[in-house]
Amino acid sequence: MEKVLGFIGRYQMIVSGDKIVAGISGGADSVCLLFVLLELREEMGIEIVAVHVNHGLRGENAKRDEVFVQELCRKHDVKCVVYHENVESISKKRKQSVEEAGRVVRREAFERTLLACGGTKIAMAHHQNDNAETLLMNLARGTGLKGLGGIQPVAGNIIRPLLCLNRREIERFVEEIGCGFCQDETNEEDDYTRNRLRHQVIPVLEEQVNAQAVRHMNEAMEQIRGLQDYMEMQTEQAYQDCAAKQKDGGICIYEAGYRKLHRVLQGLLIRRCLTRAAGAERDITMAHVEAVAGLFEKQTGRSRDLPYSVKAVRNYDGVVLKKKTDVQKKGFSPIQLRVPGITRVPELNLTICCSILEKSVDFSAKQAPQKTYTKWFDYDIIKGDLIIRPRQGRDSIVIDKDGRSQKIKSYFINEKIPSEERDCVPLIADEKQIIWILGYRMSSACQITVQTHRVLEIKVTEEKSDVREDYGFSTRKRS
């Protein structure tokens, strides 16, 4: 008991007046947890609410455990809340393993109770053997520094007072106080990964490598957690310096800053950005981190598919991580422009006003507006109707007075327009050619000259949001 109380004090897990929601399954570890909390109830005046979850998996044995927990709590004047769940059905609906679904259901039950009773903390009965199993699973599946730190003694409002004890110490304590406990027969089966590690791997380590293997693994994890705290601060600083959330929801890791980081910090930064883009951390491995890192050595446009529907795309600035639904931007439908007249393009939130101006006697090309979204064109050169549309395969634009042209694709590459944004850049075209890459440049073939008789003025305005912001328009080069 002294060992546990010292551990609780070291991490400041519990303070006077806390209302603790404790997960009590009826097993030796949760019974031990309950008695530790009962000791603190006397010393610190805390309040205890026990939560028991019947998973609906073990029939009469599950009912036996439920009754045991209720009786134990009644005996010690502890409020007990019982939840009945069909974990097998939930696992199918959520497309999770039964083991994972059970873990999530328990956590949800604890959180609901915490909210309902006005609790301050959730106490869970994880111990050193659980932590060793977690470390081995993380190592086998692939993990970063956080995974090597194992289970945290304190994580938000969750506390784990028994992480200083191994399974043998817990069972010995329960025997000494003369309290029985429940045996979950499924823990003896090897159907789950954790059980196989418990029965087949850890005993070999203890018997054939070192009897204190579990303790040594926990000591190493404690040191790693200290290192992790330091690296957490460094990683957050790197995120502030080298990455930024974009308006479309993606996160860009800028190459200039990324290259200056130590290799270890580069990996931690990628993991941080990937986790934030995905909205989850589970199942993100070193293989995924390395896949993103590899994109910095690839050409623009290369990409990698990652967990949680995240796609990493190499662009001119670095690597962007975003959900595929954000990556796959919609184009827009072609619309014929009214000349003269006003045309609205709802998909782009644009209004386009076309006017035909007669050239005055004292006309000069210098009178043409020098505005990004207002342009003058030689109307007599334009053939047929004008339309606003996305790019097409063989599009090109005349770039000088000699009639030389450049493919739109090449122009976009030279202007460093990200590949995923190119289908959203509007083009205005007649029956023969592109006359204006909206927001970038107009065709040299349609510029007004001294021979021009009629001037077509096209003025573009946005209806809701800044056009350049929404469609990737740039102010780098205008003509």
Express as a percent the part of the chain with pLDDT over 70. 91
Top-confidence residue, 421 or 186: 421
Does pTM surpass 0.75? no
Would you state the pLDDT for residue 362? 60
| Average pLDDT, rounded, for the chain | 88
- 2-10 helix and 28-44 helix, angle to the nearest 10 degrees: 70
Query: Binding site residues, as ranges?
Result: 25-30
- pLDDT for 328-363, tens place per residue? 455 688 999 999 999 999 888 889 999 998 776 566
Would you state the pLDDT for residue 467? 36
Domains of the chain by start residue, with CATH: 2-214 (3.40.50.620), 246-327 (3.30.465.60), 335-471 (3.50.40.10)
Strands 79-84 and 47-54: parallel
The predicted model gives 78-106 an average pLDDT of 90
What phi and psi values does residue 304 have, to the nearest 5 degrees? Answer: -140, 135
Kindly tell me if the per-residue pLDDT of 162 is higher than 80.
yes
Kindly tell me if the per-residue pLDDT of 212 is higher than 90.
yes
Query: Binding site residues for ATP, as ranges?
Result: 25-30
Would you state the pLDDT for residue 471? 37
The encoded tokens of residue 130 equal 């659980």
DSSP codes of every residue in 378-426: ETTT--S--EEE---TT-EEE-STT--EEEHHHHHHHTT--GGGGGGS-
Would you state the pLDDT for residue 465? 44
pLDDT class of 144 with cuts at 50, 70, 90: confident
The encoded tokens of residue 373 equal 């979204």
- pLDDT for 254-301, tens place per residue? 999 999 999 999 999 999 999 999 888 878 888 999 999 999 999 888
The predicted model gives 91-116 an average pLDDT of 91
Would you state the pLDDT for residue 187? 65
The predicted model gives 354-380 an average pLDDT of 78
Bridge partners (DSSP) listed for residue 51 = 23, 81
Would you state the pLDDT for residue 327? 46
Sign of CA dihedral 89, 93, 95, 96: negative
The predicted model gives 317-333 an average pLDDT of 74
Kindly tell me if the per-residue pLDDT of 473 is higher than 60.
no
Tell me which residue of 430, 429, 397 sits closest to 412, measured CA to CA. 397
Tell me which residue of 172, 171, 173 sits closest to 183, measured CA to CA. 171
DSSP state of 199: I
DSSP state of 300: T
Q: How far apart are CA 124 and CA 21, in angstroms?
A: 9
Bridge partners (DSSP) listed for residue 443 = none
CB 313: neighbour CB atoms within 10 A? 21
